[in-house]
Structures are given as C-alpha cells and as structure tokens.
Structure 1
Amino acid sequence: MSTTRSPAATPVAQQMSTLDRLLPVWIGLAMVTGLLAGRWVPGIADALDAITVGSISLPIALGLLVMMYPVLAKVRYDELGTVVRDRRTMGLSLVLNWVVGPALMFALAWIFLADLPDYRTGLIIVGLARCIAMVIIWNDLACGDREAAAVLVAINSIFQVLAFGLLGWFYLELLPAWLGLSTTGLDVSPWEIAGSVAVFLGIPLAAGYLSRRIGERRRGRDWYEDTFLPRIGPWALYGLLFTIVVLFALQGDTITSQPLDVARIAVPLLLYFVLMWAGSMLLAHRLGLGYARSTSVAFTAAGNNFELAIAVAIAVFGVTSGQALAGVVGPLIEVPVLVGLIYVSLWSRRFFRTDTAPGVFR
C-alpha cells in the first residue's frame, strides 16, 4: 500500500510555503513599523498625506496596485462565465454584501457606540464600503476560487458606485429617523467613488487580464502558469506589507495617542468581521457551494474597502474627525482578524467535499 499522503490529508502548515506560514509575522512587523514611524518620525504622516490626487493617496494606491496585480494575473478569465451562471454564489454574495453587512454594522455601531456619534458614524461608513481590493489576497491565501473572487469584487465595485450614497442616506438619516435616533448627513459624490474603484480595481484588473491574454498567446498557458506566475507571486505580499506600513504611518500618532477610543471602536469591528465571515461560510456550506467558492463568498462579505471609507470620512468630516479615526481603526482590526480567519478557513476544509491546494505566494 502506498504511503504517499494526498494534499487534503497533509497538515495545512506543511502545504504552505515558508513565506505564507510566516505571513502573520510579516504583517505584525509592518503594522508595528507603520505605527512607530507615524508616532516618532517627524513629518512622515504629513509628507505621505501630501502625495495625493483628489482624495486618493498615491502611496496607498501604489501598494494596492502592486499587491493586487499578481493575484489578478492568476485569474483564468476564460472561466469567469461559470461563476456568473452560478446563481447561488451570486445571489448569496449580493445579499450578504449589500443587505446583511451594512445592517449588521449599523446595529453594532449603535449597540456599542451610542454615546459616541462621531465614531458611530465612521463605523457605519466602514460597513457601507464593501471590499474590492485586499479581499483578493485573503481569498487567495485561503485557497478560495480566484475566478469567483474576481467576479464578486467587480460586482461590488459596480454596486459601490451606484449604492454607496443611497445606503449612506438610508443608514445615517432615514433609518435612524424612523427609529427615533439621532441622524447624520453624508454628502459624497458618486464620481469620487467611481474614481476610487477605477484606481484600486480597474487598473490591476486590466493589467492582470492583459498579462494572461498576451502571455498565453505568445508562450502558452503552461509557461504562463508554471514560470511567469511564480516569479511575480511574491510581489503580492510586498505590496500588502508596503500598504500596511503606509496606512499605519499616516495615522500612527492618532492611533497611539487615543488607545481607549481605539479599543471602543475595535470591539464592534471585531464582532463584525467574525460574525460576517462565520455566518457567510456556514450559509455557503449549507447551500452546497463547496470550499473554494464558500471561501470567496465569506471573505468578500467580511472584508471592507477601508481606502474608500477613510477617504469619504476625511472628505466629509475632516482628517482629525472621529469619523476618520473610526475608518483608520478598521484595517487595524481587519488585517489581523482576517489573517487569523485564513487559518480557520484552511482548517475548515475537512468539512467540505471539495478541496484545493494552497499557496498564493509560491
């Protein structure tokens, strides 16, 4: 009898590359580096914040483009049609992202921050900004369906442009008025949101599509996937770490000078990410989506577009506002929590009938 173990039987940690296994260490170091730089390096936050075009931070945009390109270059775009035709995946993702997610964040914000209206409003804005960028990394690390993730973030992008302002009015003005609660206005241009979507998703998506199309046409799929993709794969991690350092350097002084406020904001955020991921994973499992697509649905539903949330909070309420601080605390909690959920997700594969092999940065 052969003693060779199948990938599914091999412990997850042994299947992952060294780069992948140490991901929490790299991310932790990046967060600490950014916080310390923002706190102790004179003028670094002002210098980074000055490099903007409109409401878009060029350093953050650069990091996200480098981060997302390798993953989107791995997508097999000729297989996207199978995802679009999967009504269970599409329907579940839309409901989770645009009905359940904003409603859950609204409820948690009012439960935990009823006496802090600025932070409460900032948290609700975070809930309205559905993820279109970093979720690509979390999905790939957890061995989700790349094609499904690409379709779902594209749909989120369209809905974000069309629905963000409307949902902001509903959750910050109309619904609180119905419930007899205090209201807050949110004046945000759909063109600003469209610009954010175009930069953070449109550019790397176009680059990834063209890379695969040109690479396969000239050298074939085997060369593209076996030679080219492994060369560019690690750059996704480099872009992720650079983005984290820049983001936390921009707000390092604010975060470290208000630890109690950060803790108050962190509690509902922690609950939100865990509840959204776990609930989405269970629902997808019950619908029989299989591990890969369940993972894509879960991480897409749990993640948030912190770039957009922070930009909107700063544009509407000011860079020193409580709303902006709540937006900044979003990735402070989201990054380590969703990294932890990657390992939970990989562990949960034993409960699914279908499986995939891990390793995004190999």
Structure 2
Amino acid sequence: MTAVADRGVVARLSTLDRFLPVWILAAMLLGLGAGRVIPGLGAAIDAVRMDGISLPIALGLLIMMYPVLAKVRYDRLDTVTRDRRLMAVSLLLNWVLGPALMFTLAWLLLPDLPEYRTGLIIVGLARCIAMVVIWNDLADGDREAAAVLVALNSVFQVIAFAALGWFYLDVLPGWLGLPRADLTVSAWAIARSVLIFLGIPLVAGYLTRRLGERARGRDWYETRFLPRIGPAALYGLLFTIVVLFALQGDQITHRPGDVARIALPLLAYFAIMWAGSFALGRAVGLPYERTTTLAFTAAGNNFELAIAVAIATFGATSGQALAGVVGPLIEVPALVALVYAALWARRLFGPVPATNPSVEE
C-alpha cells in the first residue's frame, strides 16, 4: 500500500469522525469540569431513572446506537451467511475467543481491582455493533459482510449476553477458584437492560430502513436520509461521555493511575484480537476484504451496551461503569491505527485490484 493510499485514510473521514479523539477528550474535560463546578449536578442527573439508569444517560445511549443500526441491510443476511468459513470463524472469534481473552487479560492485569476487572469482562461480552462499520469501510473491507455480521451480533447479543455474563462473572471464576463478581441483580435484570438498550434501537433501525425504503426508495434512504441521521451517533456518544464523566469526575481526577491500568488490558485486547483474527482469516482462505471485516468486527466492542449494562447493574458512579467509559477513549485511536495496519497488510493478498466492488456504493 502506497503512502498516498495511507494518507487517503484520514482524508476520507468526515470532519466529525476525523477529530473524534479530540471531541471525546473535550467531552471528558467538559464533564469533569461541570461535575466539579456545578453543585448538585450529579444528583440532578441521577434523579429520573429508566430501568436503573438516569434518563439523560439512557437517552444518550439509545441515540448513539440507533443511526448505526439503521444502516444495516437487513434484507441481505443470506449474502454472507452462505459463506460458511466467514460465519464459523466470526462466531468462534466473537462468542468464544473474544470474551475468553478479555476475561484472561482482566484477571492477569487487574487482579487487585475487582470492579474494573468486572467492567472489562462486561466489555468483552459486548460484541461490535457500532463504530466498527466506519473502521471497516476506511480499511476497504467488505461493507455488506460487516453489516451482516453486525446485525447477527446484535441479535445474538440479545439472546446470549445475560447467559455469558453469568458464566464469566460467576460460574467460571468458581470453577477456577477465583472470587466471583459481587452481582447485585439477577441475570434477567441484565437481559432486560440488553433488550432495552440494544433491542429498542435494533427494532427502530430495522423499521426505519424498511419503511423508509418503501416510502422513498433505497437511493433516497442511502444517500439522503442516512447521512442526515449519521452524526447523531457521535452526538449521543459525546453527550453520554459528558454526563458519565460529570458523575465519575472525582474517581477519575483522584485515581488517574487506575484509568491507566484500565487502558492497558484494553490495548492488549485490541492488538491481540485484531492481529489474530486477521491471521486466521488469511489462513482459512478469505479474501482481503472479508479478512479485514472479520478482524475489525472481532476486535471492536459495543461500549455503548457495556456502559448501559454496567450502569444498570452496578450504578453510574461504579468502577465497572468507569471501565466502560474508558473504553471509547482507547478504542478510537487503537482502531484508527489498525486501519493503517490493514491497508499495509493488504499486500500480503497479492496485487490490489483497480476497484473493490465490495466497498463501492
């Protein structure tokens, strides 16, 4: 991959996406400052609750997830499900190896910080459904495959998240002689949170696409409607970060070392998961486009869901929630770097074609 192509990665980002790390940092600082200078802000934010989560946070989570799920092509699930290699490897990576890797890293690197450890395990259970589509597109991955894998992860998450949480936070630690997580709610409470904060935007995204295409056509929906609602995902993310950091301000400013320790297993997770998935995709004979899609969908995590579950289960000011909040700050620069790594590794698959049908509009 040439230097010109590498420079094109940044050029192809919108202004909002290009400076996303800056916006996230600004949102963090704004939240920290607001929480320290506005008396009673935390109590006001937490006064009205939705399924155990303050209403402002709940709205932010729903808003950030809806636009991404509205982009999914639900009518083409079979175009990827027929690729048995891709489906089998994706299921293995997302629902077996990914959670197991995060569980291992959390226990190895945070053995003395049980709240953060539990928060990271929850992050490992929340598979990608959001920003991964952007990184995949920038790396010239298979857009249709990414959309299908995201949709399948969304559905499977509703079904399996609670059971996996129970296994990794209670059953497996018991088998290994490790302390179990101090869960204060039932598995059903976690499932209910998943159904609300993933199920609602999933159904809304599906209905929006179906009704929008029926009323105005697919061209209008793809070229006019989606670009209009797309920035809402970023706005929802930034709003949620402001609110969360306003609630977490004291913990963050008084324990910066803990934040750094949370970042370490996250960085290790992204590097190991992406590189291993990329190597596995190439080993089983997938083309570059689908190998890249496999790697990004396996390495990415749904921090929106992880934050929602952590807050609903342990509280907005808990260490578990803080672990989820740190996630997007680490994920964004890590996956941007991996976009460049993917473009460089494309040479391993032979000559680059003049056009890439899988990423054309």
**1:282 aligned partner:** 279
CA contact (8 A) 1:162 1:190 kept: no
Deviations 1:199-243 (A, max 9, x none): 333333333333333333333333333333333333333333333
**3-state DSSP class of the match of 1:50?**
coil
- Change in Cα spacing, 1:247 to 1:187, as seen in structure 2 (3 Å) is closer
**3-state DSSP class of the match of 1:304?**
coil
Q: Which moved more, 1:102-111 or 1:119-128?
A: 119-128
Separation of aligned partners in 2, 1:269 and 1:253: 22
Separation of aligned partners in 2, 1:252 and 1:65: 23
**1:36 aligned partner:** 33
CA contact (8 A) 1:68 1:137 kept: no
From 99, 104, 107, the counterpart of 1:107: 104
**1:210 aligned partner:** 207
**3-state DSSP class of the match of 2:46?**
helix
Separation of aligned partners in 1, 2:358 and 2:152: 26
Alignment of 1:269 with 2:266, yes or no, is yes
- Change in Cα spacing, 1:250 to 1:345, as seen in structure 2 (3 Å) is farther
- Measure how far apart 1:154 and its partner are: 3.8
- Measure how far apart 1:259 and its partner are: 0.9
Separation of aligned partners in 1, 2:358 and 2:35: 39
From 17, 21, 33, the counterpart of 2:18: 21
- Change in Cα spacing, 1:295 to 1:320, as seen in structure 2 (3 Å) is same
Separation of aligned partners in 1, 2:15 and 2:33: 27
CA contact (8 A) 1:132 1:200 kept: no
Separation of aligned partners in 1, 2:29 and 2:60: 17
Separation of aligned partners in 1, 2:162 and 2:209: 35
**2:303 aligned partner:** 306
Aligned CA RMSD, in angstroms, stands at 3.6
Separation of aligned partners in 1, 2:257 and 2:281: 37
**3-state DSSP class of the match of 1:155?**
helix
From 77, 89, 95, the counterpart of 2:74: 77
Corresponding residue pairs, total = 355
Alignment of 1:166-205 (within 5 A): 166-186=163-183, 188-205=185-202
**2:118 aligned partner:** 121
**3-state DSSP class of the match of 1:35?**
helix
Q: Which moved more, 1:241-250 or 1:107-116?
A: 241-250
- Measure how far apart 1:342 and its partner are: 4.2
Alignment of 1:27-66 (within 5 A): 27-66=24-63
CA contact (8 A) 1:168 1:186 kept: no
- Change in Cα spacing, 1:63 to 1:316, as seen in structure 2 (3 Å) is closer
Deviations 1:129-156 (A, max 9, x none): 3344454555455554454344333433
Normalising by structure 1, we get a TM-score of: 0.80
Separation of aligned partners in 1, 2:170 and 2:201: 35
CA contact (8 A) 1:68 1:204 kept: yes
**1:98 aligned partner:** 95
Gaps of 5+ in 2: none
Alignment of 1:221 with 2:246, yes or no, is no
**3-state DSSP class of the match of 1:207?**
helix
CA contact (8 A) 1:129 1:305 kept: yes
- Measure how far apart 1:105 and its partner are: 1.5
**1:240 aligned partner:** 237
From 246, 251, 269, the counterpart of 1:249: 246
**Structure 2: which amino acid aligns with 1:83?**
V
- Measure how far apart 1:82 and its partner are: 0.5
- Change in Cα spacing, 1:155 to 1:192, as seen in structure 2 (3 Å) is farther
Separation of aligned partners in 2, 1:191 and 1:329: 26
**3-state DSSP class of the match of 2:244?**
helix
Separation of aligned partners in 2, 1:174 and 1:228: 45
Q: Which moved more, 1:88-97 or 1:248-257?
A: 248-257
- Change in Cα spacing, 1:47 to 1:110, as seen in structure 2 (3 Å) is same
Q: Percent same amino acid at aligned positions?
A: 71
**3-state DSSP class of the match of 1:124?**
helix
- Measure how far apart 1:62 and its partner are: 2.8
Gaps of 5+ in 1: 1-6
